Amino acid sequence: MAKSTEIMGQNTPIRPHFNFDNTFARKLEGFVVSCQAEPASAPKLLQFNHVLAEELGLDPAVLDSKVGLEIFSGNVAPEGSEPLSQGYAGHQFGGFAPQLGDGRALLLGEIIDTQHKRRDIQLKGSGRTPFSRGGDGKASLGPVLREYLIGEGMHALGVPTTRALAAVKTGDNVYRESPLPGAVLTRVAASHIRIGTFEFGAARGDVDKVRQLADYTIARHYPEATDAKNPYLAFFAAVTDAQAALVASWMNIGFIHGVMNTDNMTISGETIDYGPCAFMDRYATGTVFSSIDTHGRYAYGNQPAILSWNLTRLAETLVRFVDPNKDRAIELLTDTIQGIQTLYEAHWLSGMRSKIGLSTEDSLDLKLINDLLLLMEEGNADFTLVFRRLAQALRGDIDTVRNLFEEPDAFDIWAQRWRQRLKQDGIAAEARAQAMNRINPIYIPRNHKVEEALTAAVEQDDMMPFSQMLGILSHPFEEVPENQAYALPAPISDLPYRTFCGT
Ligand code: AMP
Ligand code: MG
């Protein structure tokens, strides 16, 4: 990476003003290694996120230009950045890997956004780092655009997530099974601290370092835990709540992360690493898309159980801070772990109640919702469309939803129970329908449309389908008749949809 503190415009210096304040680099020695991006030979700025840039307090006019291109390709380090790769470990498919780390990512630094929140700015795919092991540190264009599209789609759906600020095509090939165009994604995150970051410190037996990391993370993400009687236990409970809420929100929209390894679970509770993720069409709890998840460990219906499994790995790194008496510490952490599924179910049920239009609580709601899901599974119904079309039923058109089921009669019986429950809830039908349409999306990143957009970009150099889809996914609740093709599931094909880790 060229050393440059200012990027020269024609006559006057242009400064992108990131105003970096790099606390992780300063405070967490042992978790970071300084590193430089590899140059890109002929970079092209394919996509730039103006709205996010403004939210970050950055000038989109300055960055959506040659200046941004140089920064987002890794060719120029913006003033104040201290590029580094972060160390982390992780349990991958249940097995422990003590050293993973940013093998293809560089943290440029942290900035404070317009809402006074600290955000990481990271390049992903910018070349080898000390954590690259056998990898090339690069990313290919398809996976970079996939992360951009699905991540931004998730944000519009209201799910906490890392964001995409820019996608650059490097002009260089990366070599996978065949040569592919290389690309760099600029990722923005509340932080990149993962469960695996704690495991990295713990695996090295460095108690002080793990404590430093915990103190840093508490101050950055859960400052209220400092005032608790037992700050580290309160911290663990707060992470637990954030991740339980996150997984519940995935379940409520039919999202399958695909690789819920502990290195891919953030402490902040943001979704991270859109590799083999995908949305399910037909509701089936066993749905798996990832080509490497042969045993379905990360299947749709297993995600809540994996949530607990992963958080238990975090708890193991915190034992000695929770209580000097190890048994007592384990007892306290176990209490919290045992509450995770209840917590998750509360988040999930609250989301599901809203999805079927309920604003009050009744003890029979859980059964009502589970019975609908069972009918959906038995009737091969599309998850997203069923919930969306329930609002239409309230407006007098029940056929659109009932026809989504192979056995519409069974749905009719359920719908009668639902209507009874709605009467008890007592909100005018139209107001309820509108509220439902504000949380039940009509547009999700449908797998075949994602593939279409990526194929056009990668194989035909055509970013139009990508831009169009990004625009539609940015307003997932606003139905527009012309965009109907984006609302429909893929035609049933003999070949199951498969996703791959995005390297
Ligand atoms: P991920 O599948 O993105 O969660 O990555 C798992 C681990 O593999 C992380 O440590 C990555 O940094 C590393 N990794 C993935 N792809 C590459 C690559 N092309 N070069 C180097 N390291 C990589
Ligand atoms: Mg990862």
The one-letter amino acid at 117: K
- The predicted structure's pLDDT at residue 364: 98
Using a 6 Å cutoff on CB, does residue 275 contact ligand 1? yes
For residue 406, list its beta bridge partners: none
For residue 2, list its beta bridge partners: 76
- The predicted structure's pLDDT at residue 14: 53
Using a 6 Å cutoff on CB, does residue 101 contact ligand 1? yes
Ligand 2 centroid from CA 144, angstroms = 13
Ligand 2 centroid from CA 500, angstroms = 13
- The predicted structure's pLDDT at residue 184: 98
For residue 158, list its beta bridge partners: none
Q: Token pair of 128, please?
A: 């080898």
Q: Are both 89 and 125 inside the same structural domain?
A: yes
Using a 6 Å cutoff on CB, does residue 46 contact ligand 1? no
**468 domain-assigned:** no
Q: Are both 207 and 88 inside the same structural domain?
A: no
| Sequence-ordered strand ranges (E) for 293-427 | none
**143 domain-assigned:** yes
Residue matched to tokens 């690789």: 259
Residue matched to tokens 């790995």: 313
Q: 314, 349, 384: which is the final residue of a domain?
A: 349
**451 domain-assigned:** no
Ligand 2 centroid from CA 263, angstroms = 6
- Of 411, 431, 254, residue with least CA distance to 359: 431
Q: Are both 238 and 342 inside the same structural domain?
A: yes
**407 domain-assigned:** no
Segment 175-232, tens digit of pLDDT: 999 999 999 999 999 999 999 999 999 999 999 999 999 999 999 999 999 999 999 9
Q: 191, 221, 245: which is the final residue of a domain?
A: 191
- The predicted structure's pLDDT at residue 7: 45
**174 domain-assigned:** yes
- Of 115, 56, 114, 156, residue with least CA distance to 472: 156
Segment 56-111, tens digit of pLDDT: 999 999 999 999 999 999 999 999 999 999 999 999 999 999 999 999 999 999 99
How many other C-beta atoms are found inside a 10 Å radius of the C-beta of residue 26?
Answer: 11
Q: Are both 119 and 215 inside the same structural domain?
A: no
**389 domain-assigned:** no
Ligand 2 centroid from CA 265, angstroms = 8
Q: Are both 168 and 231 inside the same structural domain?
A: no
Tally the domains of the chain: 2
- The answer to whether 53 and 165 are in contact (CB under 8 A) is yes
Q: Are both 27 and 176 inside the same structural domain?
A: yes
Instruction: List, by residue number, the catalytic residues.
Output: 263
Using a 6 Å cutoff on CB, does residue 36 contact ligand 1? no
- The predicted structure's pLDDT at residue 12: 46
The string of DSSP codes covering 436-453 is HHTTS-S----HHHHHHH
Q: Are both 125 and 271 inside the same structural domain?
A: no
- The predicted structure's pLDDT at residue 4: 43
Q: Are both 60 and 33 inside the same structural domain?
A: yes
- Of 279, 243, 242, 231, residue with least CA distance to 258: 279
Q: By three-state DSSP, how is residue 222 classified?
A: coil
- HEC profile of 168-203: EEEEEEEECCCEEEEEEEEEEECCCCEHHHHHHHHH
- The predicted structure's pLDDT at residue 492: 78
Q: What is the pLDDT along the chain (503 residues), one digit of tens a residue?
A: 444 434 443 444 456 789 999 999 999 999 999 999 999 999 999 999 999 999 999 999 999 999 999 999 999 999 999 999 999 999 999 999 999 999 999 999 999 999 999 999 999 999 999 999 999 999 999 999 999 999 999 999 999 999 999 999 999 999 999 999 999 999 999 999 999 999 999 999 999 999 999 999 999 999 999 999 999 999 999 999 999 999 999 999 999 999 999 999 999 999 999 999 999 999 999 999 999 999 999 999 999 999 999 999 999 999 999 999 999 999 999 999 999 999 999 999 999 999 999 999 999 999 999 999 999 999 999 999 999 999 999 999 999 999 999 999 999 999 999 999 999 998 999 999 999 999 999 999 999 999 999 999 999 999 999 999 999 999 999 999 999 999 999 887 766 788 887 65
| Best mutation site among 96, 100, 104, 185 for ligand 1 pocket (most ligand atoms within 8 Å of CB) | 104
List all residues 6 or more positions away from 494 whose beta carbon is below 8 Å from its beta carbon. none
Q: Are both 308 and 331 inside the same structural domain?
A: yes
- The predicted structure's pLDDT at residue 502: 66
Backbone angles phi, psi at 213, to 5 degrees: -65, -45
**73 domain-assigned:** yes
Cα 290 from Cα 257, distance rounded (Å):
9
The one-letter amino acid at 110: E
Q: What residue numbers bound the domain in which 340 lies? A: 196-349
Q: Are both 288 and 206 inside the same structural domain?
A: yes
Q: By three-state DSSP, how is residue 342 classified?
A: helix
Q: Are both 143 and 223 inside the same structural domain?
A: no
The string of DSSP codes covering 398-458 is -HHHHTTSSSHHHHHHHHHHHHHHHHHH---HHHHHHHHHTTS-S----HHHHHHHHHHHH
Q: 326, 349, 372: which is the final residue of a domain?
A: 349
Which atom, in ligand 1's list, is nearest to the CA of 263?
A: 4
- Closest-CA residue, ligand 1 atom 3, reads 273
**281 domain-assigned:** yes
- The predicted structure's pLDDT at residue 503: 55
Q: Are both 150 and 207 inside the same structural domain?
A: no
The string of DSSP codes covering 223-275 is GGGGGSSSHHHHHHHHHHHHHHHHHHHHHHHTEE-S---GGGBBSS--B---S
Q: By three-state DSSP, how is residue 45 classified?
A: strand
Query: Within the chain, what is the greatest distance between any pair of CA atoms?
Result: 73
Segment 431-463, tens digit of pLDDT: 999 999 999 999 999 999 999 999 999 999 999
Chain centroid to CA 272: how far?
4
